[in-house]
Structure 1
Amino acid sequence: MKRMKRVVAIAAAAAMTASVMTGCGKSGGNEPAANHGEASGEVVSVDFWTAPQQVQYNFWESKAQAFNEAGITVDGKKIEVKVQQMPESPSSEAGIQNAIATGTVPAVSENINRGFAATLAASGAVYDLSGETWFTDVIEARKMEDTITNWAIDGKQYVLPVYVNPMIWQWNMKALKALGFDSAPKTVAEFTDVITEFAAQRDTTMKEMGVTHSFYRPSLTRPDQWWDRWYDFQMPYEALTGGKPWVEGNKLVLDKEGAVEAFELIGLFGNSIQSGEISSIWTEANPSVLVTINAPWEISLYRENNKVYGEDYIYGQAIVKNDGDTPYNFADSKGLVFYKNKSITDEEHAGAVEFVKWVYNKENSAQTDLDWLNATTMLPVRGDLNDNEIFADVMKEYPELAALAEAVPYAIPSIATEKVTDIQTALTESGTAPYMNEVMNAEPGNAPDATPYVEAAMEAMKQAGGLE
């Protein structure tokens, strides 16, 4: 699966050309329109934008066709959903901002992460769903009661989550066994033992196997790849702090001790980190690293290259302090939002809601999510993936997905702030990048003290994000 772009471009939308988009809008603005809809006869046309990925377009197009054929009406008018892909250049987020400014935004779209949702919510561009009965019903039908709390933005819910890729560790199983371990480590102590043993056998057993490095992460010192801090910092941070947040409102609430521990967990790899770019380590006959952060969108690629889950690679939970601690992780997750704009009539908004209600209602939600899983190999946001019989066959066929599904209830989405780019860039520039420069001169298993780097990063994050 092609990895989606994660670049949130906050450039001035008005400066962009409106010709990038097509849509039903007539004028800009973030207030809902009066009920003067673009109904043609007894039909209300509703625009739905998908992610700029063909498999997702195909999925939503099939759902729209089925919905349109069902003849669903609102106030006696038939709703017809029209599906198109959102633009990918310069980024899907920039395209949406341009559409909002020019009045060409759809009634509803997918492909929205929590961080960008915070930007949209701050400008009044999307609807709060938390008081909607249908929204509560969907949450119940998908067993999302625990998960949805992690999506709150200032106590409100603007996003209906669609999919989640829990970001955990992906281990070279053959290398682990050669080092004397039958399973992936769970605790900091077990993790340290594995890295220490790797260092001891680096020039012998590991070298003979072609495993030259313990960890692959070229982006650790690159501020321009700020979004990777979601994976290599937020993932261990959430696990080591019990799921604590970074930002609440206008305050930086990052747990300093937990941040130090997250830095130093990565610091344990020392000079055995592979920081050079490699196209796809896991498709090599003999992968050259012990562990990476998993890339679930590459599952199909692994299978195409005859990689067998449980033999060639295995997923290991986010590392926790003590055995039994909840293994919170970062959720590479996106969902649906409904747009407020003068170009969107009340009828169009109601039609968009009716479509999403139909797709995810109690009768249809499980089949919808199974269809999504089969189409994309990305996990739908549900709390019963390993318990609901409708998913049993696909989970049996894809044990790697079953393993990932265990991490879904503990997956926490990106921080909810419109300053996400600035904050995470500051984290890299003042924290992870200088710290990793010191780490790369240390022996594996001997992480340098990260305290001064975390302190510098926290101050820089406050300044960059205008936080207290």
Structure 2
Amino acid sequence: MKTKKVVSILFLASLTVTSLAACSTGNKVQNGVVKDGVTTIEFWAAPNPTQQVYWKEVAEEFTKENPEINVNVSPMKESPTSEASIQSAIAGGSAPTMSENINRGFAAQLADSKALVKLDELNGWDKLKESRNMENTMEGWEFSDNHQYVMPIYSSPMLFGWRLDILEEIGVHEAPKTYSEMLDVAKKLKEKYPDKYVWAKDALADPTAWKRWFDFFMLYDAASNGNNFVEGTKFIGDEKAGEKVLGFVDDLRKEDALLTRKAKDPFESGLGIFTDIGPWTISYWKEKFPEMKWNETYTLAAPPVPDDKETSNVNTFADTKGLVVYASATKEQQEAAMKFINWVYSNPENDLKWFEKTNLPPARDDLTTNDTFKVFLDKNPELLPYAAAVPNAIPPMDNSKYNDIQTFIGQHAFNPVVKGEKDPKTAWKDMQEAIEGVLK
């Protein structure tokens, strides 16, 4: 689920990429339309067998109902990264019609180079948002130029896991919701278990860009009500909220509640009692740590918020990716792509099939109210908190320099505060200056 750094396109120029095929009959394509009237669109699925199976199945069903459109599904290459393979294909003139597996930061890079279609300018976009019931979810997806380049497939709100069993042992009966409640837990934990920590995670001191999605941005989105961090070439981070986040982390450090050295399975072992948890972790636990049981061993909660904030409908970071249509596609292919997307998402059964296969919550507002998903969620109640949080989940920033920006958050602010090297106010100021420098 983590984005790797994209390497140079020149280095990748020799990579073999899948060329746009017509169909199995070998008919020649002219302007995106096969001679017999069939429009062929090339769809690159994520390099994940489960997702490839899903897309091949829905493409076959779609073609049965729409024989005038052939959807050719193939996996995108991931050597050295899927992003690099896409950039190489664009540079070589062999990009697919559409692909999944795109986050907003990478989409911003592609949009800056005019490689993506503005989805909101295609016929059927408004119908798609309405029929899939994702108006609220889409609010955070508009780019700084007021256009939409990515249609989110899934939105995994990142929640914090708490070791419920250990909380009970120290006399706390529910997950803390505010900073002061969490600091109270830290004091009680250290009194009873001096060798345990609230947050045990080596990534807290690591400046790697994507790691800020799973600590800083979860807390910042909650404290700022989902305020944007950058907009176009301007830094618009909420200073008050940001300093509160850094101050909270600093307070945890002062309580000796943070552990930044590497440790094996710190949350599962109980060395730490609080950590970020995505829905994919649930599947992993069922196989590797069957003792981790929801509402017994652990519980899931929204990020804690400053004491003056509401504790309901709390925003958090969304680990999310979606579909894009490439500008190199012909008008016929673009129209066919939108028809395919609308067909898939007009039926909630297709989102249910996705949810069942991947455990990744579909990016729609009604997961907890639509009867289509009720049986599945009843059987998998640990996924219910994720489903409920989808409308409040904030996607990654839509800036082509997101990798630099997030590295600076770690280098100049979050990591130094965690280590006790800077006070929160100085850290925020230093970070802002570094980000504004790269945005010029």
Q: TM-score, normalised by structure 1?
A: 0.87
Describe how 1:43-442 pairs up with structure 2 within 5 A.
Answer: 43-70=38-65, 72=66, 78-154=68-144, 155-203=146-194, 212-223=196-207, 225-270=208-253, 271-282=256-267, 284=268, 286-304=269-287, 305-306=289-290, 307-321=292-306, 322-324=309-311, 326-341=313-328, 344-361=329-346, 364=347, 366-438=348-420
Query: What secondary structure does 1:318 align onto?
Result: coil
Percent identical residues: 33
Q: Is the 8 A contact 2:177 2:311 kept in 1?
A: no
Q: Is the 8 A contact 1:20 1:87 kept in 2?
A: no
Kindly provide the amino acid, as one letter, of the partner of residue 304 in structure 2: I
- Please identify, of 416-425 and 190-199, the stretch whose mean Cα deviation from structure 2 is larger: 190-199
Kindly provide the amino acid, as one letter, of the partner of residue 196 in structure 1: K
Greater than 6 Å deviation, 4+ residue runs: none
Distance 1:420 1:222 in 2: 17
Distance 1:96 1:88 in 2: 9
Kindly provide the amino acid, as one letter, of the partner of residue 6 in structure 1: T
- TM-fit CA distance, 1:42: 2.9
**Alpha carbons of 1:369 and 1:437: their partners in 2 closer, same or farther (altered >3 Å)?**
same
Deviations 1:389-412 (A, max 9, x none): 111111111111101112111100
- TM-fit CA distance, 1:303: 1.7
Distance 1:130 1:349 in 2: 12
Kindly provide the amino acid, as one letter, of the partner of residue 261 in structure 2: G
Deviations 1:76-103 (A, max 9, x none): xx21111111111222111111111111
**Alpha carbons of 1:182 and 1:455: their partners in 2 closer, same or farther (altered >3 Å)?**
same
2:425 paired with 1:451: yes
- Please identify, of 393-402 and 324-333, the stretch whose mean Cα deviation from structure 2 is larger: 324-333
The correspondence for 1:42, drawn from 37, 47, 52, is 37
Gaps of 5+ in 1: 27-33, 440-447
Kindly provide the amino acid, as one letter, of the partner of residue 381 in structure 2: P
Distance 1:185 1:452 in 2: 28
Q: Is the 8 A contact 1:176 1:182 kept in 2?
A: yes
Distance 2:166 2:209 in 1: 30
Deviations 1:65-122 (A, max 9, x none): 111222x15xxxx211111111112221111111111111110111111111111111
Distance 1:43 1:323 in 2: 54
Q: Is the 8 A contact 1:423 1:462 kept in 2?
A: no
Distance 1:127 1:67 in 2: 22
Give the aligned length: 427
* RMSD across aligned positions (CA): 2.0
Q: Is the 8 A contact 1:20 1:95 kept in 2?
A: no
Kindly provide the amino acid, as one letter, of the partner of residue 356 in structure 2: N
- TM-fit CA distance, 1:25: 8.5
Kindly provide the amino acid, as one letter, of the partner of residue 7 in structure 1: K
Q: Is the 8 A contact 2:21 2:40 kept in 1?
A: no
Q: Is the 8 A contact 1:5 1:91 kept in 2?
A: no
The correspondence for 2:3, drawn from 1, 6, 16, is 6
Q: Which residue of 1 aligns with 2:25?
A: none
Distance 2:266 2:354 in 1: 27
Gaps of 5+ in 2: 23-28
Kindly provide the amino acid, as one letter, of the partner of residue 270 in structure 2: P
- Please identify, of 366-375 and 40-49, the stretch whose mean Cα deviation from structure 2 is larger: 40-49
Kindly provide the amino acid, as one letter, of the partner of residue 237 in structure 1: Y
Query: What secondary structure does 1:335 align onto?
Result: strand
Distance 2:342 2:101 in 1: 18
- TM-fit CA distance, 1:327: 0.7
Kindly provide the amino acid, as one letter, of the partner of residue 319 in structure 1: P
Q: Which residue of 2 aligns with 1:445?
A: none
